[in-house]
């Protein structure tokens, strides 16, 4: 499950604005704003929306690994 902090951290890691993430995930900017709002957050989001976000981050090499002990955000970039 993604949290509002994880979404923002992922965006910050790759240098995306909310509009960038929205475009890459195929959702609206207000959706990203709601997902990053700690009072609303992704708990109310549909599974399909969260899959779109995870897929969008995946195209940039960002992966979220969540275990009961810790959260790891992994970013792999291709070296050219």
Encode burial over 12-48: b for 16+ CB neighbours within 10 A, e otherwise: eebebebebbbebbebeeebbebbbeeeebbeebeee
Q: Which token pair is 7?
A: 């979404």
Domain count, the chain: 1
For residue 23, give Cα distances in angstroms to 47, 71, 79.
18, 26, 25
- What is the Cα–Cα distance from 62 to 56, expressed in whole angstroms? 9
In a domain, 18, yes or no: yes
Domain annotation covers residue 53: yes
For residue 29, what is the domain's CATH number? 1.10.260.40
Range of the domain at 50: 4-75
Asked if 10 contacts 58 with a C-beta cutoff of 8 angstroms, the reply is no
Residue 78 has pLDDT above 70, yes or no: no
- What is the per-residue pLDDT across 16-64, written as a single tens digit (0 to 9) for each? 999 999 999 999 999 999 999 988 877 778 889 989 999 999 999 898 8
Does any domain span residue 35? yes
Determine, yes or no, domain membership for 41: yes
- 31 in any annotated domain: yes
- Indicate whether 80 belongs to any domain: no
């Amino acid at each position: 499950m993604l949290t509002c902090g994880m979404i923002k951290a992922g965006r910050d890691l790759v240098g995306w604005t909310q509009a960038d993430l929205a475009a890459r995930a195929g959702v609206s900017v207000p959706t990203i704003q709601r997902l990053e709002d700690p009072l609303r957050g992704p708990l109310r989001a549909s599974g399909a929306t969260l899959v779109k976000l995870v897929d969008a981050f995946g195209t940039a090499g960002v992966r979220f690994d969540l275990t009961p002990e810790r959260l790891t955000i992994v970013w792999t970039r291709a070296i050219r």
